[in-house]
Amino acid sequence: MKFKTEVCLLSLAIVLFVVSAFFYSYQTGGANLSLNWSSYPYREIALGFVGFGSVLMATATVSYSKRGKNVFNETFDFSAEDKSN
């Protein structure tokens, strides 16, 4: 992948994490502090966003690390030394 695509994937993952934090913490029913599952109606959506964001982040990270290794190996190719001496 290109660097711009990797940055877009990471940015989208960050946005998904922020949105999922809002959805996860959204509580209905006023000020009662019950930890009832029904008082958090968007938890399933939030967990889906976190899962998808994690996949995007892992994809961008693996792509970036592979590209970084290839650039490093091409830059410092010690196997092709000049042996004409």
Q: 10-65: per-residue pLDDT in tens?
A: 999 999 999 999 988 887 765 555 566 567 778 888 899 999 999 999 998 898 88
pLDDT of residue 68: 73
Domain count, the chain: 1
- Going by pLDDT thresholds of 50, 70 and 90, the confidence category of residue 2 is confident
Could you tell me if residue 24 is inside a domain? yes
Could you tell me if residue 58 is inside a domain? yes
pLDDT of residue 43: 86
> What domain range is 48 assigned to?
3-29+38-73
Are 50 and 20 contacting, i.e. CB atoms less than 8 angstroms apart?
yes
Rounded Cα distance between 23 and 77, Å, is 49
Rounded Cα distance between 69 and 64, Å, is 9
pLDDT of residue 17: 94
Rounded Cα distance between 6 and 58, Å, is 10
Rounded Cα distance between 74 and 66, Å, is 12
- Going by pLDDT thresholds of 50, 70 and 90, the confidence category of residue 78 is low
Question: Looking at this protein, which amino acid is placed at residue 39?
Answer: S
Phi and psi at 16, nearest 5°, equal -65, -40
pLDDT of residue 18: 94
